[in-house]
């Protein structure tokens, strides 16, 4: 949702950028939907950034990191 600043900020933190807008997408209030994407999520640089963010989250919140099978 275009009004969800927290979600937009979180996606931006993870490397996503706004690429479009679906006007009146949501049927309950006709709010716009924001379309976001990230470039080359399988690249080494994207994966390294994701790992850094996961480690920072783990340290801040005391959550153990687990390897997710691919």
Residue 28 exposed, middle or buried by CB count within 10 Å (0-12, 13-18, 19+): exposed
31 shares a domain with 48: no
Give buried/exposed letters for 45-68 (b at 16+ CB in 10 A, else e). Answer: eeeeeeeeeeeeeeeeeeeeeeee
30 and 4 inside one domain: yes
Q: Are residues 47 and 67 in the same domain?
A: yes
Q: What is the domain range of residue 45?
A: 41-70
> Does the predicted model carry a pTM greater than 0.95?
no
Residue 14 pLDDT exceeds 90? no
Do 34 and 45 reside in the same domain of the chain?
no
32, 25 Cβ separation under 8 angstroms = yes
pLDDT band at 69 (very low <50, low <70, confident <90, very high): low
Task: Tell me what percent of the residues of the chain surpass a pLDDT of 70.
Answer: 94
The pLDDT of 34-58, averaged and rounded, is: 91
């Amino acid at each position: 949702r275009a009004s969800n600043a927290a979600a937009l900020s979180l996606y931006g933190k993870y490397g996503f950028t706004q690429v479009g807008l679906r006007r009146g997408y949501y049927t309950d209030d006709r709010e716009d939907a924001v379309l976001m994407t990230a470039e080359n999520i399988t690249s080494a640089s994207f994966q390294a950034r994701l790992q850094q963010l996961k480690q920072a989250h783990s340290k801040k919140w005391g959550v153990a990191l687990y390897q997710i099978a691919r």
